[in-house]
Amino acid sequence: MRLLLVEDDPTQRLPLQIALRQAGHMVDAVPDAETAEGLWLSKDYDLLIVDWMLPGWSGIELCRRYRQAGKGAPILMLTAKDTTADTVAGLDAGADDYLIKPVDVLELLARVRALGRRSPHWLGDCLTVGDLRLDLMTLTVHYRDQQVMLAWQEFRLMEMLMRQPQRVFGREYLEANLWEWGSEPESNALSRLVYRLRQRLSPLGCGEFIATVHGLGYRLNPSGLTDASAG
Amino acid sequence: MFANFQRWHQIDQHWVAHTLEVLLSTEKLNRRLLEAEVNAQSYGLTLEQPYLDAYQAAVQDLASTQGQLLQQVRDNPEQYDRLRRLEDLLVRSIITLDGQLLSLGAAEAYEMTAEELFLWLSQARDVLTLTRAQLQEFAALETRYLQERQARLQARYRWSQASLYLLTLVGLTAIAGAVVLFNRQDQELRSRSRQLEMANEQLWRFAANASHELRAPLAAVLSNAQVGLMLLQSPGVDAEAQAANYQQSQDCLVTVVATAKRMSRLVQDLLQLARSQGGTLTLTQTDIVALLQQWAEPGDPPVLLLTLPREPVWIKADAGLLKQALGNMIENAKRYARTRVEVRLTAAPLVIEIQDDGPGIDPKHLPYIFEPFYRVGSEGGFGLGLAIAKQVIEAHGGQVTVTSLFGQGTTFRVELPSSSPT
C-alpha cells in the first residue's frame, strides 16, 4: 500500500516509517499537514496515518480537509489524547481508527493491515498470477516449490506489476510510485531496481518474468508465465 | 429593654396624671372656698335664701373635696402635712363664715350701715386670705411637681426615642453591614470561583500537556526499541540489506538512549516543579549578590552583564532552589538574546531584572509563558523552566512579572522580600 504518514516528531516518525516500509508499504512521511495536503493532491494514497497534535493545522483539521477534497482513503489517528471525548472528536472529523500513544508498532502494523483489507483494491493477503504467488505479509515470492524474500522496494515493484499483470508501467510512473517523498531516484535507479529484482527471482527460474518493453517501460511477462504454467 | 421603657413610661405617665388630678382638686377646693365666701357675703348683703343654700352646698363640697385631696396626697408626706394645716385653716375659715352668718339676725342686715357692713364682710378676710395663700402655696408645689414629672416623662420619652433611633440606626447599620458583608462574601466567592476555574483550566492544560509531553518521548522510545529489535531479527534479503538493517537498528537504539535521557531531564524538571509547589523550603541567610556573581564568567555571546551592589544583599532563601529559578530565567534570556543579557540587582526594594535584547514575546503568548509546558518556540526545553522559576520565587514570598516589546526584547522582573543579616 501507499501510505501517507504525518508526524512532526522525527524520533517517532522515522521508526514508524521503517516499520511500515519493512511491512512492504510505500511510506511518504511528512512533518506537517500543509506538506501532506500538497502530496495528496498529486498522489493517491491507500491509507493516512496522522498525529493529532501537529504544528499548523491539527490532525483533526487535516482529516476535515482531506475529506472535503473528496478523498476516501481510511485515516488512522495517532494521539497522546486519551479521553473518550477526544476519540469521538477524532472519529467525527473523519478518522477511521484511533491509536493512543505510545503505540505498539506490531499493533499499528496489524491495524494498517486491517484497514487495508477494507480497501476496494484489496485482493487478499496473496497476489497470484499463474504459478507466481506474492505473499503480502511476508514479502515473499513463491514459485512452484521455491520461495524468495524480497527487499521492500523490490516487493513494491513486484506488487505493482502483479496487481495489473496486463499493464505496461511507464518509467516515470514507476519512479513516482516507488520512491518515497523526499528521496529522489537517481537516473539509473529504476534500472538497477529492476536488475536487482530479476537477480532475486532468477534462482526460482523466473527472473525473465520482468520484461522490458522498449521505449515504454516494464511489465510482467505473460508469455513467460504462460510458458511456466504450461511447463 | 423595650418592656422596661414601657414600664417606666407608664409609671411617669401615671405620676403626671396623678399630679394633674391633685391640681384639679386643689383648684376645686379653691373655687369652693371662693364660692362659700362670695355666697356668704351675698347672703349677708341680701339675706336671700338661695345664697345661703349655695353657701352650704359649697361648704359641703369643700369638705368632701378636702377629704378627696387628702387621699390623693397621702404618698407625699410634705404635701400631706401642708394639706392638714390647710385643713385647719379651712375649718377656721368655715367656722368664721358660719359664725358671721349666724351672727346675722333676719332683719339686721338691712339696718347695718355701710361701715358696719364693710366690717362684717371683712371679719373672715384675714383667715380666708391666709387659707387662700396656703392653698396657692400647695398648688404651686403641686404645679412644680407636675412640671418636674412632665419634664421627666418627656426626658424619658426623648431618651427612649433616642434609644429607639439609636437602635434603629444600629439595626440599619447592621443590615447595611450585613449587605456589605454578603456582597463582599459574594464577590469573594465569585472571585474564588473564578480563581478555581482558572486554576482548573490551568490544571487541565497542565494535564493535557503533561500527557502529551510524557507520552511523546515514551512513544518514541517504544517505537524505536521495537523497530530496532524488528530490524535485528529481520533476516534481510542479502548482505547489503542486512548491513542497512543493522545500521538502522543502531540509529533506532541511539534515539532510544537520547530520548530516555531527555525523559529523565523532563522527570527531573517535573519533580523540581512539584517540590517548589508543595515542598518545604530550607531557608538560610543568603547573599543574593554572591548568588548572582556565579553567572559572571565571561563566555561566548550572548554576553551576560551583571549590575550588582557592592554590599551583600541578604535574603532568607532556599539557596539551591533560588539559584535554580534565577538560572532558569537567565538561561531563558540567553536562549533568545541577540547580543547580550543584562542582570540588574537593586537592594531596596529587592528587585532583580533580567533583560535580553532578543525578538521579544508575541503579546498573545505573554499570559501563558509561566505555565508548565508552555513553549513559545519549538526549540529547546520542555517549557518548564519559567514555571519552576515562578513557583520558587512565589514560594519565597516574591513575585515575577514580565514585560516584552515585540522586536526589542524581554525583561523579567523578580521582586523578593529582603531581610537584614542576623
The tens digit of pLDDT for each residue in B275-329 reads 777 667 788 898 999 999 888 776 666 788 888 898 898 988 888 888 889 999 9
Q: Which residues of A touch B226 (CB under 8 A)?
A: 15, 19, 104-106
Cell numbers found for residue A58:
491539527
Of A100, A106, A151, the CB nearest to B237: A151
Q: Which residues of A touch B237 (CB under 8 A)?
A: 148-151, 154, 200
**A9/B259 touch (CB, cutoff 8 Å), yes or no:** no
CA angle B243, B249, B255 (to 5 degrees): 140
How far is B398 from chain A, CA to nearest CA, in Å?
36
Q: Does A16 touch chain B (CB under 8 A)?
A: yes
Q: Which residues of B touch A154 (CB under 8 A)?
A: 237
For B176-225, how does the pLDDT look when each residue is reduced to its tens digit (9 = 90+)?
Answer: 888 888 888 888 888 888 888 888 877 777 777 777 788 888 899 999 99
Choose from B163-172, B195-204, B268-277 the range with maximum mean pLDDT.
Answer: B163-172
For B37-51, how does the pLDDT look when each residue is reduced to its tens digit (9 = 90+)?
Answer: 888 878 777 777 888
Assign B106 a pLDDT band (cuts: 50, 70, 90): low
Looking at per-residue pLDDT, the higher value among B223 and B420 belongs to B223
Percent of chain B topping pLDDT 70: 94
Is A230's pLDDT higher than 60?
no
ipTM of predicted complex: 0.83
For B377-400, how does the pLDDT look when each residue is reduced to its tens digit (9 = 90+)?
Answer: 766 678 888 888 998 898 888 999
Q: According to the model, what pLDDT value does residue A37 have? A: 94
Q: According to the model, what pLDDT value does residue A65 have? A: 93
Assign B422 a pLDDT band (cuts: 50, 70, 90): very low
Q: According to the model, what pLDDT value does residue A160 have? A: 92
**B223/A19 touch (CB, cutoff 8 Å), yes or no:** yes
Chain A residue with CA closest to B250: the answer is A15
How far is A82 from chain B, CA to nearest CA, in Å?
9
Best of A12, A104, A158 to mutate (most B CBs within 10 Å, chain B): A12
**B255/A149 touch (CB, cutoff 8 Å), yes or no:** no
**A154/B237 touch (CB, cutoff 8 Å), yes or no:** yes
Q: According to the model, what pLDDT value does residue A105 have? A: 93
Q: Which residues of A touch B241 (CB under 8 A)?
A: 151
Percent of chain A topping pLDDT 90: 53
For B242-255, how does the pLDDT look when each residue is reduced to its tens digit (9 = 90+)?
Answer: 898 899 999 999 99
Looking at per-residue pLDDT, the higher value among B292 and A231 belongs to B292
Best of B227, B229, B251, B253 to mutate (most A CBs within 10 Å, chain A): B227
Is B233's pLDDT higher than 80?
yes
Of B208, B219, B237, the CB nearest to A102: B219
A225 close to A132: Cβ distance less than 8 angstroms: yes
**A101/B237 touch (CB, cutoff 8 Å), yes or no:** no
Is B29's pLDDT higher than 60?
yes
Q: Which residues of B touch A151 (CB under 8 A)?
A: 237-238, 241
Q: According to the model, what pLDDT value does residue B355 have? A: 93
Q: Does A12 touch chain B (CB under 8 A)?
A: yes
- Judge if the upstream peptide bond of residue B349 is cis by omega within 30 degrees of 0: yes
Would the CA dihedral through A68, A72, A73, A76 be positive or negative?
positive
Looking at per-residue pLDDT, the higher value among B410 and A125 belongs to B410
d(CA B156, CA B163): 10
Q: According to the model, what pLDDT value does residue A231 have? A: 35
What is the H or E stretch that residue A173 is in? helix A171-178
For A59-85, how does the pLDDT look when each residue is reduced to its tens digit (9 = 90+)?
Answer: 999 999 999 999 989 999 998 777 788
Is A133's pLDDT higher than 60?
yes
**A105/B226 touch (CB, cutoff 8 Å), yes or no:** yes
A7 close to A31: Cβ distance less than 8 angstroms: yes
B344 close to B307: Cβ distance less than 8 angstroms: yes
Looking at per-residue pLDDT, the higher value among A17 and B95 belongs to A17
Q: Which residues of A touch B251 (CB under 8 A)?
A: 14
Is A152's pLDDT higher than 90?
no
Q: Which amino acid is at B260?
A: A
Q: Does A21 touch chain B (CB under 8 A)?
A: no
Mean pLDDT of chain B: 83
Is A117's pLDDT higher than 80?
yes
Q: According to the model, what pLDDT value does residue A158 have? A: 94
Which of B10-13's residues contact partners 24+ apart within 8 Å by CB, and which partners? B12/B149, B12/B152, B12/B153, B12/B156, B13/B153
Mean pLDDT, rounded, for A135-146: 91
Q: Which of B63-77, B96-110, B134-148 has the lowest mean pLDDT?
A: B96-110
Is B158's pLDDT higher than 60?
yes
Mean pLDDT, rounded, for B342-365: 89
Looking at per-residue pLDDT, the higher value among A229 and A217 belongs to A217
**B216/A14 touch (CB, cutoff 8 Å), yes or no:** no
**A22/B241 touch (CB, cutoff 8 Å), yes or no:** no
Of B216, B237, B255, the CB nearest to A149: B237
How far is A202 from chain B, CA to nearest CA, in Å?
14
**B231/A103 touch (CB, cutoff 8 Å), yes or no:** no
What is the H or E stretch that residue A135 is in? strand A132-135
Of B208, B212, B216, the CB nearest to A12: B216
d(CA A107, CA A9): 20
How far is B285 from chain A, CA to nearest CA, in Å?
45
The strand pair at A210-213 and B303-307 is best described as unpaired
A86 close to A77: Cβ distance less than 8 angstroms: no
Task: Write the CA distances from A12 to A40, A53, A75, A76, integer angstroms.
Answer: 22, 13, 18, 15
Assign B123 a pLDDT band (cuts: 50, 70, 90): confident
Q: Which amino acid is at A53?
A: M
d(CA A87, CA A95): 9
pTM here is 0.61
Q: According to the model, what pLDDT value does residue B5 have? A: 66
A30 close to A5: Cβ distance less than 8 angstroms: yes
How far is A195 from chain B, CA to nearest CA, in Å?
15
How far is A192 from chain B, CA to nearest CA, in Å?
14
d(CA B165, CA B344): 63
Task: Write the CA distances from A74 to A28, A118, A119, B166, B201, integer angstroms.
Answer: 15, 9, 8, 82, 34
How far is A215 from chain B, CA to nearest CA, in Å?
31
The residues of B whose Cβ lies within 8 A of any Cβ of A are 208, 211-212, 215-224, 226-228, 230-231, 234-235, 237-238, 241, 248, 251-252, 255, 258-259, 378
Mean pLDDT, rounded, for A184-195: 91
